[in-house]
Structure 1
Amino acid sequence: MSLSTSVIAFPAVFINQIQVGVVGRTGAGKSSLISALFRLAPIDGHVYIDDVDTGEIALKDLRSKISIIPQEPVLFSASLRYNLDPFDKYSDAEIWKALEQVELKQSVTSLSAEVEAGGANFSAGQRQLLCLARAALARNRLLVLDEATANVDPNTDALIQKSIRKYFADCTVLTVAHRLHTVADSDRVVVMEAGQIVECGHPHDLLQNENGYFAKMVNQLGSASEQSLREIAQKAYLQHIKYVDADDHAQ
């Protein structure tokens, strides 16, 4: 997947089946990525998904091919089943499997259980996990998380990231995040400033440049959080190198 809009350097940012984290201060332009993907506003340029200009795709078809988990989840006053499968496309077994993947199966007694408007009878973390289960059912190749874990506790954040790593490995995942730990193990981090991409690379690589944007943001977390994030990024980097080496030997 590649993008090219008024924000620079998109073609080098998005590649199939990787996780891309997008960070930046408030007003840096992160939301413009979401707007570009979903054609929520006119853009100067083009957006390509699988080499297809999204401007040539019917809007309904485009949006149906992208799963999104927003900061404020969309949940209706209806049954749990309807919220996960409003068009009745999936079997009960498939829905239960999706709930199991996000570790909600034990918290749900029945697919006919009532969900209050906005998911008011679920915790903030459970609401986001329900949205993730809905995305697991859709099986789209592009998953967007728009500040999806901003209002959840760190444990739920970690659970969401683990589920994505395990069950969305064949997807391109775009995570717009305020919490830097959320993207510490991403395959690539994009740092935005004033509507432009100012840094892009593996988080471990970016942290080697102490004068870089990402490193400065991490340094402001405090020593304990900074050290934790650096360790997560390094571990992810070493796993990536190991995977690449194994793939090269296999070829």
Structure 2
Amino acid sequence: GFIGMALSYGLSLNNSFVNTIQKQCDLANKIISVERVNQYMDIPSEAPEVIEENRPAPDWPQVGSVELKDLKIRYRGDAPLVLHGITCKFQGRDKIGIVGRTGSGKTTLIGALFRLVEPAEGKIIIDSMDISTIGLHDLRSRLGIIPQDPTLFQGTVRYNLDPLGQFSDQQIWEVRCTQISMLPFLVLPIDQIGL
């Protein structure tokens, strides 16, 4: 009888342990959710989309010259610098390749041009305008980048060239006038021409 009673109490104690562990796991998951919300609350807001008193001209940038003046970048206020005082100038209409080993700051530099990360010190000047003084929409809508791994969206070649529909067919054709053989392909779906 005593052994049976001990086994009975032991089994019920096992259920209590299982329930306690389940409750602790549920609590831990809920605490993680609260921590995540707390982290999102601490993310600094981006700069304004548009700064009305300092909007660039409608045709900015015209030349496309880019000047970096003592550019220093860090990802957080307390983090070490990842770019250390870069100073250089690129003339407009130049084709520039940014190359370097992994972790050398190529992506950080591109992120700084698009203000995905703000400089700790220094300036980026495009066509005589300090990009930190204009809104993000005004900046980002006027810059373009050719990524290492391009992405084509479902639709026509024309849609991929101008997804926001900002340009007329004539304007797009003028850009591609040196390659007349491409014109008929602008209206074909991507998969029909093997892209």
TM-score, normalised with respect to structure 1: 0.40
* Larger relative contact order (Cα-Cα within 8 Å, sequence gap ≥ 6): 1
Q: Which has the larger radius of gyration?
A: 2
TM-score, normalised with respect to structure 2: 0.50
